[in-house]
Amino acid sequence: MDCSGKHDVVSSEGTIYESLLKKGFSRRDFLKLCTTLTATLSLPAPFVSRIAEALETKKKPILVWLEFQDCAGNSEALLRATKPTVGEIVLDTLSIEYHETIMAAAGHQAEKSLADVVANHKGNYIAAVEGSIPMKDGGVHCCIGGRSALEIAREVCGNAMATIAMGTCACFGGIPAAAPNPTEAVGVSAAVPNIPVVNLSGCPVNAENITATVVHLLTFGTLPALDKFNRPLFAYGKRIHDNCERRAHFDAGQYVRRWGDEGHREGWCLYEMGCKGPETFKNCPRIKYNDGTNWPVGSGHGCIGCAEPAFWDRMTPFYERLPQPPGFGVEATADKVGLGVAAVTGAAIVAHGIGRMISGKNTRED
Amino acid sequence: MPKERIRAYAWEIPVRLTHWINFVCIVALIVTGFYIGNPYAHAYSSSQYIMGWIRFVHFTAAYFFLMSLVIRIYWAFAGNRYASWRVWLLLTKQQWQDFWGALKFYLFLSKHPPCAVGHTAIAGFTYFFVFILFGWQILSGFALHSLTHTGPLWFYLGGWLTGMMHMQTIRLYHHMATYVIISFAVAHVYIAWYLTLKERNGLMGSIFDGYKFVTGKEWE
Ligand code: HEM
Ligand code: HEM
Ligand code: SF4
């Protein structure tokens, strides 16, 4: 049964529910999982049954995972969990037909399986992309099997039902795109315009958000509602600062001022240490990392804004609240430049006052 | 002895009212803005709400400031000739001449103070940039505000800017513009005081009661 009739993600193997049963899941575990997913998607409770129905009836989606200019950190985040997470469980049950880091096949055999997916499942598979795509010199700076990342992305993402950009590099170019961006790296949606892309930014992406996005696609046949940077609103709709566990200390006026000071030991707000939570949108405070163990602010380090475009250029210095004003050298801060402007004004006034004394006229001459 | 003076009505009520609303708002915005930028006073207990109140004052003053600017811009079209938008620009040959004349006076190159019932050409031209600066503070301020206030009102007041400019860049220039406003305010008050002494035209008083004391030459 197809709930929306938009797309149908197909594969030769059974449904996600069947795979979960095979893995020893009970019906009860399955419904719990559906509840968690509904909550992650910020959907109201009645949607639990809708999601359960989709996972029970729809064929497992086929996924191909492309890696370009990356550190494989997003794959790591997914694979290195110590106990199985919701994300792992669902992703384990997906038909991952191609993933450079984890697939058994190699060489021409591997490339063939990718070509087969594109040829046989056109418009019906999900493309996941990790890493940025270099545009300089026709894309020669990142090649796989003799083809450039750009060429592969055009073909694989262009024929996919949807593309999920995993992590900030695939979304916005990320660290490879940091100034001076020697390879002219960009994210998927800039490299291959006009295709449906969901950006799951972050460094790395959270497995829970991937799962929820895939399940949304499966259940509704559509991409989730997106923000202006094509990120799903369920995960990127709220500012970190507004969900942060230290927010009460921010409002009260209790700030860490030096690493290891009393405020730091007390778990106060990291605003003065350059926390970028006030300008970063992501659900980290809620779902955290490493199986929900912790997240940067929880462990006493400010947010570095990794989920936002150009974070390496614009969110730095990481331990200052404001970026450096352009054109004033490395040591300048906004306040130093500002004080300079104010001082020049003061000096001009003093000079004018002295000038007035020298010219010696206090009264008006007509 | 100064010659006999004519009492001329320059600043109508909306001009004076918005001037003093701006003054109060800007002082409040600078003080609270610097606290937001660098929270110098720390709370001793989590039940305090220092940053909370500071931000509340900043945002409340922001709305008053916005409304004041709206009124003043309306008056630039509806008010008398001294309040008109035309005095903000150097449109006529006369304005250019006045501009250079006034500049020479401030640089001690001339001993003839600029005289005008309304703004001098320099002052008017400066206010053009000052109002742009005010506009930028409002735009960038509401852009930052729109990060938590996602309705259409805040989108149109500034939220749209976050699609074109990085949030940190907006923040930086919101912060930097504060220093420019401070510099203007200092120079502005000094000049007002200086001209009041020099010209004996009641300039300082005029922004309270609206009247300046002019020689009559202004209309020639
Ligand atoms: C003369 C006018 C204004 C001045 C001098 C001023 C000054 C400042 C300063 C210095 C900061 C700290 C910036 C930083 O270091 O991060 C700030 C923050 C801010 N201002 Fe203004 N501001 C003005 C007008 C406005 C207006 C009209 C709004 C509109 C709502 C506004 C909204 C904000 C917001 C939202 C913040 C960030 C607060 C936060 O993140 O908690 N400001 N302002
Ligand atoms: C003791 C404080 C102040 C005094 C006595 C004062 C006095 C005056 C006077 C006499 C004028 C009109 C005359 C002219 O220069 O053409 C004026 C205009 C103006 N002042 Fe002030 N001022 C004060 C503070 C400020 C501050 C703090 C600001 C903002 C930062 C400010 C912004 C302006 C603006 C924008 C105008 C143009 C008014 C208009 O055309 O609507 N003033 N002020
Ligand atoms: S630690 Fe960062 S995100 Fe949390 S309240 Fe403070 S500034 Fe906001």
Contact B2 A315 (CB under 8 A): no
Which of B110, B179, B198 to mutate: most A Cβ within 10 Å? B179
- Looking from the CA of residue A275, the nearest atom of ligand 3 is 2
Return the percentage of chain A with pLDDT > 70, whole number. Answer: 90
Structure token digits, residue A231: 């990120």
Nearest to A130 by CA among A80, A63, A85: A63
- What number does CATH give the domain A16-236? 3.40.50.700
B169–A contact, CB cutoff 8 A: yes
Question: For the segment A190-223, what is each residue's pLDDT rounded down to a tens digit?
Answer: 999 999 999 999 999 988 888 889 889 888 989 9
CATH number at residue B38: 1.20.950.20
Task: Given CATH 4.10.480.10, say whether it is the number of domain A240-314.
Answer: yes
* Gap from B13 CA to chain A (nearest CA, Å): 29
Q: Do A64 and A159 meet the contact criterion of CB atoms below 8 Å apart?
A: no
Give chain B's domain count. 1
Question: For the segment A91-108, what is each residue's pLDDT rounded down to a tens digit?
Answer: 666 777 788 777 878 888
Residue A6 confidence class, pLDDT cut points 50, 70, 90:
very low
Instruction: Taking residues A269-278, report their average pLDDT.
Output: 96
Q: What is the mean pLDDT of chain A?
A: 87
- pLDDT for A83 equals 54
- pLDDT for A364 equals 44
Structure token digits, residue A208: 């829970």
Q: Which ligand is nearest to the CA of A282?
A: 3
- pLDDT for A2 equals 34
Please tell me the distance from the alpha carbon of residue A57 to that of residue A48, in angstroms, as a whole number.
14
- Looking from the CA of residue B203, the nearest atom of ligand 2 is 10
Instruction: Taking residues B31-42, report their average pLDDT.
Output: 93
Q: Which of B46, B186, B200 sits opposite A249 (nearest CB)?
A: B46
Q: What are the C-alpha distances in Å from B152 to residues B62, B142, B156?
A: 18, 12, 6
Query: Position of tokens 């305090």?
Result: B48
Confirm or reject: Cβ of B55 under 6 Å from ligand 1: yes
Please tell me the distance from the alpha carbon of residue B33 to that of residue B174, in angstroms, as a whole number.
9
- pLDDT for B17 equals 95
String of DSSP letters for A286-344: HH-BTTTTB-TGGGT-----TTSTTHHHHS-STTSSSPPPTTS-TT--HHHHHHHHHHH
Instruction: Taking residues A42-54, report their average pLDDT.
Output: 92
- pLDDT for B203 equals 86
Contact B168 A314 (CB under 8 A): yes
Q: Do A9 and A61 meet the contact criterion of CB atoms below 8 Å apart?
A: yes
Residue B160 confidence class, pLDDT cut points 50, 70, 90:
very high
What is the pTM assigned to this prediction? Answer: 0.88
- Looking from the CA of residue A278, the nearest atom of ligand 3 is 8
Residue A162 confidence class, pLDDT cut points 50, 70, 90:
very high
Please tell me the distance from the alpha carbon of residue B80 to that of residue A78, in angstroms, as a whole number.
69
* Gap from B5 CA to chain A (nearest CA, Å): 13
Q: Do A50 and A225 meet the contact criterion of CB atoms below 8 Å apart?
A: no
Instruction: Taking residues B104-121, report their average pLDDT.
Output: 80
Residue A321 confidence class, pLDDT cut points 50, 70, 90:
very high
Cβ-Cβ contacts under 8 Å, B148 against chain A:
239, 242
Confirm or reject: Cβ of B19 under 6 Å from ligand 2: yes
- pLDDT for A361 equals 53
Where are the domains positioned within chain A? 16-236, 240-314, 336-366
Contact B51 A310 (CB under 8 A): no
Residue B132 predicted with pLDDT over 60: yes
Return the percentage of chain B with pLDDT > 90, whole number. Answer: 53
Residue A366 predicted with pLDDT over 50: no
Please tell me the distance from the alpha carbon of residue A39 to that of residue A355, in angstroms, as a whole number.
71
Tell me which residues of chain A, numbers 67 to 126, contact chain B at a CB-CB cutoff of 8 Å.
none
Structure token digits, residue A199: 């950006």
* Gap from A138 CA to chain B (nearest CA, Å): 27
More confident position, B5 or A230: A230
**Most confident option among A113-117, A250-254, B192-196, B207-211:** A250-254
Instruction: Taking residues A251-278, report their average pLDDT.
Output: 95
- Looking from the CA of residue A269, the nearest atom of ligand 3 is 6
Residue B110 predicted with pLDDT over 90: no
A249–B contact, CB cutoff 8 A: yes
Phi, psi at residue A229, to the nearest 5°? -105, 20
Instruction: Taking residues A352-358, report their average pLDDT.
Output: 78
Beta strand pairing status for A185-186 and A133-134?
Answer: antiparallel
Domain extent at residue B185: 5-219
- pLDDT for B3 equals 57
Helices (H), B93-120: 93-106
Q: Reply yes or no: is the peptide bond before residue A204 cis, omega within 30 of 0.
A: yes
User: Which of A242, A270, A299 to mutate to test ligand 3, by most ligand atoms within 8 A of the CB atom?
Assistant: A270
